[in-house]
Chain A
Amino acid sequence: MSPDLVPLLGQAFGETVFMVLITLAVGGVCGLALGLGLYLTRPGNLLEHRGVFAVLNVAVNVVRPIPFIIFLVALGPVTRAVVGTTIGTGAFTFAMCVMASFVFARLVEQNLVSIDPGVIEAARAMGASPLRIVRTVVVPEALSPLILGYTFLFVGVLDMSAIAGYLGAGGLGDFAIVYGYRQYDWALTALVVVIIIVVVQLVQWLGNGLARRALRR
């Protein structure tokens, strides 16, 4: 690898970190909210509401399976309305945030349905309000799987960021293709792959550790 590529690689790494962190933050919060909404409004649950549940459920089912590269294009009008443009890091990050929210929503819901309804019943019997039950029972009881789900989301977001990067948002994926793949520089491509693997491993290790700690009882 020629030395003048080093700052470019650094910049690409920075762009990826930026996209991934923003997406994880926004997608994490929105996905948690959506997932809680799905869980709570599900028939038989705390805030049972057929209409709301049906809408959320369909929305998640429709969005989640769309390949990200197609979603990115399809979301164009919305992106333009919100961000003002459909290209550039901001626009792509917006699309990633939306996708990540829907993906995480399902992960959250799947982890919450495994909570023993008995403990929620007990909290209700003690006079706790639904909001308090979410805060003090639902989330703490499912914290460990939620952390693992969030770690899983990270890998998905990293994947999305590579696609977004290639389409113009920059980042590691773009760098690997432009300077590695296109230049037949396999060593460079391999280097980027190794960097990604190391980052994923580190994050997975961190997530597993936190999840185990949350489960220590």
Chain B
Amino acid sequence: MSHPLLSFRDAVKEFPARGRGRRRGAPVRAVDGVTLDIDAGEVFGVIGYSGAGKSTLVRLANALETTTAGSVVVDGTDLTGLSEAQLRPVRAGIGMIFQQFNLLASRTVAGNVAYPLEVAGWPRADRDARVRELLDFVGIGDKADVHPARLSGGQKQRVGIARALATSPRLLLADEATSALDPETTADVLALLQRVNRELGITVVVITHEMEVVRSICHRVAVMEAGRVVELGDAYRVFSAPEHPVTRRFVASALRDVPSSAVLARLRERHPGRIVTARIDEVSGSSAQVTRVLAEHGVDGTIVFGGITELAERPYGSLTVELVGHDAAVHAALDGLRAATTVVDHGTATRPAAEGSDR
């Protein structure tokens, strides 16, 4: 098997305490013993709440920060102990895009994209051709001579992506690259990142606190909390069967397909029957199965809440259904559903079940 493109081995990054004397606080362990392998060709997500250490982790990958302990290996090169001058070519070989785009206001779009080529010592004519090619790839070929101040957020991030791809890196790091964009523009930029991965074969690491980003483009995901990776795996697995509480919170906040207690209270006013929430995913069950089980038992199922979306290009979601029929039939149908998928029984308005109250 080929070696991973990027690996962290017990990587630790500690920032010295701020302040002086008595006001001196404790040192901050922004990254606290992370071991992680990112394979060539994948889109890898790192998700976590603010302060979890995500940015610090990627900054270790392109040596903007150096590890306090442990090691980081990029494409076979161990960064541990390299001098500042030795780290520069490593950085140049890794693309990075930023939440605030970080474009040079004093240069045009073309000048910005040419910057890394200048650093790499490309001759002018080659630079111009490459810049044109890149701007066409990201879809802003007509903006070459415009200054960044005149661009929209989405266009700025396209410039950022073109700039990051200029020297044909094998690895692209995206730190909250869509967090400053509206949902529609976010989708466009994510689609572009997906093209970067598929068409150019570039490995992409996306840092985010938005589940939506992971949901739409990541193959694998690491969930971070307090400097540690608390959950790691196939994006579909992690989100269809989250294990760590932090992951559960992300899943719940992103999909909003499971009724909260307030929603449930409103549902009960309108739907006196038995309300159940059935999970729809590849692992536990499909909506066809739900329909079939209800039909088999002669129970009417009215969908009252929920939805099915895609996670890593596979179906995922849940349906909340009001079951109407004879008590015995409803019971049997419920057992049938339980055999097919994960079910949360909310009970009826008159006899609510405690089961559903944990979310």
A interface list, Cβ under 8 A from B: 116, 118-119, 121-129, 132, 136-137, 140-141, 143, 214, 217
Contact = CB atoms under 8 A, between A and B. Distances in A.
A177 B281 CA distance: 92
Contacts, number: 65
Interface of B: 62, 64, 85, 88-94, 96, 98, 100, 102-107, 115-116, 118-120, 147-150, 163, 167
B147 A126 contact: no
Contacts of B64: 121, 124-125
Given A128-B119, A217-B106, A122 B91 contact: no
- Report which residue of A116, A141, A217 has the largest number of chain B beta carbons within 10 angstroms of its beta carbon: A217
B93 to A, nearest CB: 8
A179 B147 CA distance: 54
A123 B160 CA distance: 12
- Report which residue of B94, B106, B148 has the largest number of chain A beta carbons within 10 angstroms of its beta carbon: B106
A122 B96 contact: yes
A144 to B, nearest CB: 9
A41 to B, nearest CB: 15
Given A136-B115, A217-B147, A217-B149, A125 B96 contact: yes
Contact of A127 (B92, B105, B107, B163): B92
Nearest to B160: A122
A29 B126 CA distance: 35
Nearest to A126: B116
B88 A127 contact: yes
A126 B98 contact: no
B207 to A, nearest CB: 14
B119 A141 contact: no
A198 B103 CA distance: 40
Given A124-B64, A125-B62, A127-B88, A140 B106 contact: yes
Nearest to A144: B106
B215 to A, nearest CB: 27
Given A217-B147, A217-B149, A126 B92 contact: yes
Nearest to B94: A125
B91 A126 contact: yes
Contacts of B163: 126
A128 B120 CA distance: 9
Given A125-B64, A140-B107, A118 B98 contact: yes
Contacts of B167: 126
Contact of B115 (A118, A123, A143, A214): A123
- Report which residue of B92, B100, B119 has the largest number of chain A beta carbons within 10 angstroms of its beta carbon: B119
B106 A143 contact: yes
14 contacts: A116-B100, A118-B98, A119-B103, A119-B105, A121-B64, A122-B98, A124-B91, A125-B91, A126-B116, A127-B88, A127-B89, A127-B116, A128-B119, A141-B106
A132 B119 contact: yes
B84 to A, nearest CB: 9
Contacts of A127: 88-93, 116, 119-120
Contacts of B105: 119, 141, 217
Given A122-B96, A127-B116, 14 more contacts: A116-B102, A118-B98, A118-B100, A126-B115, A126-B119, A127-B88, A127-B92, A127-B93, A127-B119, A127-B120, A128-B88, A129-B88, A140-B107, A217-B105
Nearest to A117: B102
Contacts of A122: 96, 98, 102-103
A141 B102 CA distance: 12
Contacts of B98: 118, 121-122
